[in-house]
A and B are shown apart, each in its own frame.
Chain A
């Protein structure tokens, strides 16, 4: 059974940083394209960053230059380093691959 478990969310002031983690079991993060998808309160789904199995990387324009996606194959984990956080980054962040989604980790940016 595939499981994706996110962690690392929390309350942070504008301009601050957070590092989200996604621990995977039942699949190898190195073999698949993996995504970070966020959902702002009351809003829809937005793919903010993806990493392909060939290390091609995508960032949404809204996070380009501030967020960095990476993975650790030995730990079978996906990461999202988020710097220079803004109020509008407040959202639930999901780790996702195909039909598999985690439970999400909540990021709140507020002074």
Chain B
């Protein structure tokens, strides 16, 4: 399954919203009814960290400024107000279909 993110680079002003899109080459709805689509954040020098799982569920400790939405083949990560701590690369990932596959990554930086 090919995952295509846009944009690949996202300069944002502090306090402003940001949005990243991800499209899959086939539906991510599993036969069990779940959609195993997730968002990861990778800060510079760190391992990836999962922010959002199953489209819209936030991991424990993730600020509510992050939200995920979408269905089928089209998904979006929104950051309502970008903070300095949000700088990094964001990846979408699916594991509805084995093996897991990632998007190319979107680099979020402060203008």
Which residues in A have some Cβ–Cβ distance to B below 8 Å?
33, 35, 44-47, 50, 52, 56, 58, 94, 98-99, 101-104
Contact = CB atoms under 8 A, between A and B. Distances in A.
Given A45-B105, A50-B99, A56-B98, 11 more contacts: A35-B100, A44-B104, A45-B102, A47-B99, A50-B100, A52-B98, A94-B48, A99-B38, A99-B53, A101-B47, A104-B47
B39 to A, nearest CB: 11
Nearest to A60: B99
B66 interface: no
B47 A94 contact: yes
Nearest to A52: B98
B91 A45 contact: yes
Interface of B: 38, 40, 47-50, 53, 59, 89, 91, 93, 95, 98-105
Contacts of A52: 98
Given A44-B105, A94-B47, A33 B98 contact: yes
A104 to B, nearest CB: 6
Contacts of A33: 95, 98
21 contacts: A35-B99, A44-B91, A44-B104, A44-B105, A45-B40, A45-B48, A45-B91, A45-B105, A46-B102, A47-B99, A47-B101, A47-B102, A50-B100, A52-B98, A56-B98, A58-B98, A94-B47, A94-B48, A99-B53, A101-B48, A103-B47
B48 A102 contact: no
Contacts of B40: 45
